[in-house]
Chains A and B, each alone.
Chain A
């Protein structure tokens, strides 16, 4: 009876459905990641300002997002906002909003950290050579910041992709949900399908995240100099 499980995977258009589900996962992650990177860079720059007001506000935002489990945030936006303001936000949009809020906060903190880790002397010694402010950023500060930032940012991206599996719980049909549906549908005809389907889902996550984290490792090695 063991062969029945793998049969379910290839039955009908199950594989296509899983890939469709994967596309939902990737689409939501991609959108959230792109917005988070842009907003996060801006946030990170704001966080390095000496202004006490921006300092306090960004701090509160970051701590709030960090303390809240992502699932609670998802519920808060999807169910809470709908009830309180009587607006309907689709599951997918809620997911993008939550993951952008989270990604922006984390990315902002990474950017802040990378920026302040550049020693003040780097500014002084490049200024002493006669470089202008813009040149100092272009040739000295930004290249060094990016080298510190990119491996960390990539790590954040894979974390975000993995965490999108939570959005099943607000009714978004992504790769994990499709898997569950397939398993449900063949519960009686192929009881061992769960292993095969979840195994496939695992593999799909792997092929999305592995190249990304591999890239991070590569860049880190190359920039060790």
Chain B
């Protein structure tokens, strides 16, 4: 096992869907510990698929993914083991509707990690408190607003004490006034030094939170730059066109 500076390394990843559509082509990039990388790009560029490949929800055709310098794609380690180190939050929150908020966030720690109810319970209450939802502990998901559900989903992923968090358009399904409360939680995680890969369409947020912007198009990295460079003077014509979509002039 070779120790590297990178927490996550992706080497020559190839991904295509059934029927042969290539989604990711010879894709390589690395994330350092504590780094926040925001992935931008037009829809269908492969950004969500990339996140899904990283925690094994999509099979890949070629290439390697390393976490902590160890390959997670060689089939030697079970995905259920690896996924404990990788927290993922989805666009559609996907809380388990038949469980209360507290049961939702304790399921992983108790059943997957075999932690005790007391210890995980204390951790759970702390995290709920941090996202301002402690009083919703015994509520069912359908009694929560979209923003609250998404915050619970983030807590549920954090409960596993992951080394890296993947956010897949977590605010895309939310009403505008609820976007802020979710983004604030993610910003706070960034301040706490969490390593994160974020797919989003919130440009202001991307600019504020990112250490690095990765701009994807047609399954390839078109640009990789610091946020002020990317938003200030994008190098490629493709990125300029993309950013223009978010500009309004009368």
Contact = CB atoms under 8 A, between A and B. Distances in A.
Interface string B57-84: 1000000000000000000001111011
Of residues B79, B96, B140, B153, which shows the largest number of chain A Cβ atoms within 10 Å of its Cβ?
Answer: B96
Contacts of B97: 144
Nearest to A128: B88
Nearest to B91: A121
B160 A124 contact: no
B111 to A, nearest CB: 6
Contacts of A200: none
Contacts of A53: none
A189 to B, nearest CB: 60
A130 B98 contact: no
B83 A128 contact: yes
Given A121-B94, A144-B97, A147-B98, A128 B111 contact: no
Contact of B57 (A124, A143, A144): A124
Contacts of A143: 98
Interface in A95-154: 119, 121-122, 124-132, 135, 139-140, 143-144, 147
A225 interface: yes
A63 B55 CA distance: 42
A30 B111 CA distance: 38
Given A124-B57, A139-B111, A225-B140, A129 B160 contact: yes
B142 interface: yes
Contacts of A121: 90, 92, 94
Given A139-B107, A225-B142, A131 B94 contact: no
Contacts of A119: 92, 94
B34 interface: no
Given A129-B83, A129-B156, A135-B112, A124 B90 contact: yes
B90 A127 contact: no
Contact of B55 (A128, A132, A144): A128
A128 B52 CA distance: 9
Contacts of B96: 122, 125-126, 139-140, 144
Interface in B110-164: 111-113, 140, 142, 153, 156-157, 160
Contacts of B78: 132
Interface residues of A, number: 20
Contacts of B157: 128-129
Contact of B111 (A125, A135, A225): A135
Nearest to A146: B98
A147 B99 CA distance: 12
A223 B112 CA distance: 26
Contact of B80 (A132, A140, A144, A225): A132
A144 to B, nearest CB: 6
A144 B113 CA distance: 23
Contacts of B98: 143-144, 147, 223, 225
A135 B88 CA distance: 18
Nearest to B105: A129
Nearest to B159: A129
Contacts of A125: 88, 90, 94-96, 153
Interface of A: 119, 121-122, 124-132, 135, 139-140, 143-144, 147, 223, 225
Given A125-B95, A129-B107, 16 more contacts: A119-B94, A124-B57, A125-B96, A127-B79, A128-B55, A128-B57, A128-B88, A128-B90, A128-B157, A129-B108, A130-B83, A130-B84, A130-B160, A131-B107, A135-B112, A144-B96
